[in-house]
Amino acid sequence: MSTNPSQLLPSELIDRCIGSKIWVIMKGDKELVGTLRGFDVYVNMVLEDVTEYEITTEGRRVTKLDQILLNGNNIAIMIQGMLRIIGELF
């Protein structure tokens, strides 16, 4: 029997995303897409194969990174599987 997602704790939902591509919208002008490898109780995250999208005064900047440790305090939204929308935005 599967569990209704509305009955899960936030950490359980994040745990289900481990190994999946996620889209992280940060507080500020950055968005990240990468594979979630792990997280802790503070929602600090380890992401691999990361693409960082940043809006600057000169336009948009796209940066590729192998692996990052993301501070959970700076995360506004995390979405699993919404990669098609990123292409439309950038």
pLDDT at 87 over 60: no
Set out the domains of the chain in order of their start, with CATH numbers.
5-89 (2.30.30.100)
pLDDT at 53 over 80: yes
pTM for the predicted model, two decimal places: 0.80
Residue pair 47/34 in contact by the 8 Å Cβ criterion = yes
The DSSP annotation for 27-81 comes to SSSEEEEEEEEEE-TT--EEEEEEEEEEEETTEEEEEEEEEEEE-GGGEEEEEES
Determine the pLDDT at residue 68. Answer: 98
Determine the pLDDT at residue 13. Answer: 87
Determine the pLDDT at residue 56. Answer: 86
Short-list 49, 41, 44, CA closest to 74: 44
- Using CA atoms, how far residue 23 sits from 32, 35, 87, 89, in Å, is 6, 9, 12, 13
pLDDT digits (tens, 9 = 90+) for 22-41: 999 999 889 999 999 999 99
